[in-house]
Structure 1
């Protein structure tokens, strides 16, 4: 489907259109799309991550905000990560993060594929972003994407609850225990293979 140019919005038009609107939207290549509502587990994870990152962010002169802070990932694309760490100049009236450094997306079964592909590429294209955390809300799993000094990105999958996830730009670590605190979220189920004992000698 090709959307006529005259029906597309600029970033400024989009931000003005959603001001005071009850629903939540993202701008993708000039088109505003509604965002699905979140379950309680999703919201608890966002709150836990903020609680863990806010003190470290303050020590570094950063602000850690929730999903109401926009990140412009392209000329006509605006995303709303679940958590944003912004190290740009403080501006109480800003509608977008001026220098996002860490973004967090909490996924569910309905959004994981899209978040892991489209949004990840967009975030990696933002020069100031050095870390992207993709957190599953229904199983204990976090994918950590880090920008290296040469500009390439590495990916790490964390499933152990006590393993430190290092966030160098904030000089802090976070664990799955903190991320999933108060939630009954379990690791991915693994296949248990029962091998028959060799009875050939009997």
Structure 2
């Protein structure tokens, strides 16, 4: 049996649908992809990020946004909703009056089983095409682990992995620092069960 033909949407059609939709969707290459709901841990981590970063941005030319701020990668055509975004200096938007940010400075993504490979791979490849982006931060929700990608030049990124509660995520581009203990506050990780010993035969 032949497969059903795909429906292709223009960016304008996607944005019009987003204005009245009751859920958020990504858009890429004519296709619309509904975004799944987030877990309790995901929401707590995002809230902790906002609480930790917000006070450090006060009185400065930086703005922080949570997951309702849509971001567009101009060169690839991806429209998406990062878990948190910070932009310093002039903010560049399109699609008025419903704004879509095009020049984020730092992007945060909280990893989940359904999106982890995408966030690490294809999505990061899109984000790397943003000339304004200096830092990309991946936050695990099932263990204390943060991966911080710092742009070195157009094609190279430096990876730092932080796993200790007293460890710090230092974001020099926005002059903000957060400890892992603060980011993971109120998260109860499942206890690690050691593998059972195999009996001698």
> TM-score per shorter chain, which class?
0.7 to 0.9
Look up the match of 1:10: 10
Q: Does 1:26 align with 2:26?
A: yes
1:81 equivalent in structure 2? 82
Q: Is the 8 A contact 2:103 2:132 kept in 1?
A: yes
In structure 2, the residue matched to 1:198 is none
- 1:42 aligns with 42
Task: Decide whether aligned partners of structure 1 residues 161 and 95 sit closer, same or farther in structure 2, where only a CA change above 3 A counts.
Answer: same
1:67-121, Cα deviation, whole Å (9 max, x unpaired): 1111112443111100011233387945211420001100112221111111111
Equivalent position of 2:51 in the other structure? 51
> 1:106-185 alignment to 2 at 5 Å?
106-149=110-153, 151-185=155-189
Aligned partner of residue 23 in structure 2, secondary structure: coil
Q: Which moved more, 1:180-189 or 1:51-60?
A: 180-189
Q: How many residues align?
A: 191
Comparing 94-103 with 158-167, greater Cα deviation is found at 94-103
In structure 1, C-alpha distance between the alignment counterparts of 2:122 and 2:4, rounded to whole Å: 19
Q: Give the 3 Å change call, closer, same or farther, for CA 33–57 of structure 1 in structure 2.
A: same
Map of 1:72 onto structure 2: 72
Superimposed CA distance per residue, residues 27-60 of structure 1 (whole angstroms, 9 cap, x where no aligned partner): 1222100111111110010010111112223343
Unaligned runs of 5+ in 2: none
The structure-2 alpha-carbon separation of the partners of 1:161 and 1:155, relative to structure 1 and needing over 3 Å to count, comes to same
When residues 130 and 90 of structure 1 are mapped into structure 2, their CA distance, relative to the original with a 3 A threshold, is closer
1:105 aligns with 2:113: no
The DSSP-based 3-state class of the residue aligned with 2:173 is helix
Instruction: Report the Cα distance in structure 1 between the residues aligned to 2:153 and 2:60, rounded to whole angstroms.
Output: 20
**2:62–2:87 CA contact under 8 A, matched in 1:** yes
> For the structure 1 residues 103 and 190, does the alpha-carbon distance in structure 2 shift closer, same or farther, using more than 3 Å as the test?
farther
Greater C-alpha radius of gyration? 1
Per the TM alignment, residue 179 of structure 1 is displaced from its structure 2 partner at its CA by 0.8
* Aligned-residue CA RMSD (Å): 2.7
